[in-house]
Amino acid sequence: MSHRTFDDPHGTSTEARQGLLDNRCEHGPKRHRTKGRRKRISAKKKARIKHANGVRLAAFRKFKDRARAYWRGISEAHP
């Protein structure tokens, strides 16, 4: 829908309605020069996810190493 409304102090004529419809129909989504921005944002998202997965995996490996040390009798406490 158009951002404008039909609450016009000059009346709601057919011409006014058609003008609003034309305004709405003429402006479609932006298609030119948008792929580069989309790729940059996508690359940033992928890098952020890759980093988060690495941090999570490192914490899990640390936990597993401490648990294995407990079960092998190397340490006294289970993590």
pLDDT tens for the chain, residues 1 to 79: 455 555 665 667 777 777 666 665 566 777 778 888 889 999 999 999 999 999 999 999 999 999 999 999 999 988 8
In this predicted structure, what is the pLDDT of residue 58?
A: 98
Parse the chain into domains and list their residue ranges: 14-71
Q: For 8, left (φ over 0), alpha (ψ -120 to 50), or beta?
A: beta
Q: What does pTM read for this prediction?
A: 0.51
**According to the model, what pLDDT value does residue 31 have?**
76
